[in-house]
Amino acid sequence: MEVEAFYKRLPKIELHAHINGSISTESIEELLAKNQEKGRPQPDIEALRQWKAKVENGEQMTLDGYREKNIKICFDMFKLIHQLVDNSEAVAIVTRNVIREFAEDGVKFLELRSTPRDVPETGMTKRSYIEAVLSSIKQCKEEGSDITVRFLLTIDRGRDLQTAHETVQLAREYQATSDGVVVGIDFSGDPNKNDARQYIPVLQEARKSGLKLAIHVAEIPNVAENLSLVQLPPDRIGHGTFLQPEVGGSEELVETVGKLRTPIELCLTSNLVGQTVKSFDIHHFKYWYERGHPCVICTDDKGIFATSLSQEYQIAASTFNLTREQMWELSFGSIACIFADDETKDRLRNLWAQERSKLQSS
C-alpha cells in the first residue's frame, strides 16, 4: 500500500511493538551476512522468506481463513526469527534497526517489548539479551535520534511460572538501573497456551514493584480468563479483540474495561492476518473509538505483517471515514496512554504542537 505523505509526517506513538516481530527484510539479510562473515551456522529461514513475500503481496489476507491455524503460522514465524536472533550482537542489530525504522516513519515515542532469552550455544544470557537491547536504545539516543524509546520485558504465557517470576525480578533490577528505560511488563504469547489466570499473582507482584502492565487480553474468546485479566486491572490492554458479547465476549467485560477506561492497543493488520477479525471494516477499533474510549493504533509486528504505523493510521482513516483532524487527535490522545511521567508527556504535547504548525504551514 502506498502511504500518503500526511500519515508519514504525522507524529505518532507506538506502544505495541515486539522487537523480533518488527524485524525488517533488511535486518534479516544483515544478520545472514554477519553469520556468513563469522562462520556461524545459517538457519533455514526459507519458510520465513516465503511468508514475508506472501504478506507483502497481500496474499495473507485469505490465508486459510481459519483463526487457529493462522495464529499458529504466525508463531511459527517467530520461532524461525529466534533461530536467526540467537546472540547478543544480533539482538543489538535488530533493536537498533527497528528503532531507526520507526523513527523514519514519524514515530516520536516508542515502547518496545521482548522476552529475555538464554541461548547457551552462543553464550547469550537473559541479562546480556536485555543489555543488548538497552545498548541499542542508548546508541540511537547518542546518535541524536528524536525518538524516545522505552522497554517492557515480556512474560511469555507459554513458559512456566518460575520463568515469569525471574522476568519480574530482572525488570525490577533494570527499572532501577536503566535510567528510566525499563518501565514495565508485557504479558503475551500464544493465547492457546496455558491459563493466563495462573500468572496473575506474578503480575500483581510486578505492579507492587512499580512496573506498568501491558497485557494481551481477549486475543481469542475466553470470557472467564479475560475477565480475570481486565479486573487486575492492566495499565493497557493489547488487542482486546473478543471483549464484546457479539464476538464471544460479555457485557461484563465491556462494562469493566469501559468503567476503568483501560487504554486498548489496536493492531488492525495483525488481527486481519491472524484472522481474529475477518475484514478491516468490522474491526473492533470502531466499537471502542465511537464510544470515546482511549484507543492507540499500533503495529504489533511490523516485520511479520509487512506494515508500518503510518500505514495502520491510513487503514483506520480510510476504513472508518475519519478525517485528518480526527487522526491527529487520535495520535495526540495516545500521549496520555504512554508509560512515562508527566514531564515526558508534557514535552511530547509541546512537540506535537510544533509538528502541527509545520503540517499546517506546508
Distance (Å, rounded) from C-alpha 107 to C-alpha 251?
35
Among all chains, which residue has been given the C-alpha cell 528503532? Answer: 99
Yes or no: say if 112 and 95 are a contact pair by the CB < 8 Å rule.
yes
Distance (Å, rounded) from C-alpha 161 to C-alpha 261?
29
Residue-wise DSSP of 125-182? -HHHHHHHHHHHHHHHHHTT---EEEEEEEEETTS-HHHHHHHHHHHHHHHHHTTT-E
Yes or no: say if 271 and 304 are a contact pair by the CB < 8 Å rule.
no
C-alpha 336 chain-centroid distance: 17
Cα 74 to Cα 59, 209, 360: the distances in Å are: 14, 33, 40
For residue 298, the one-letter residue type is C
**The one catalytic residue among 14, 101, 111, 219:** 219
Distance (Å, rounded) from C-alpha 78 to C-alpha 120?
19
Distance (Å, rounded) from C-alpha 222 to C-alpha 199?
16
> Is residue 219 flagged as an active site residue?
yes
Helix, coil or strand: residue 359: helix
Q: What does the block give as the cell for 196?
A: 493466563
Write phi, then psi, for 213 (nearest 5 degrees): -120, 120
Catalytic positions, please? Answer: 219
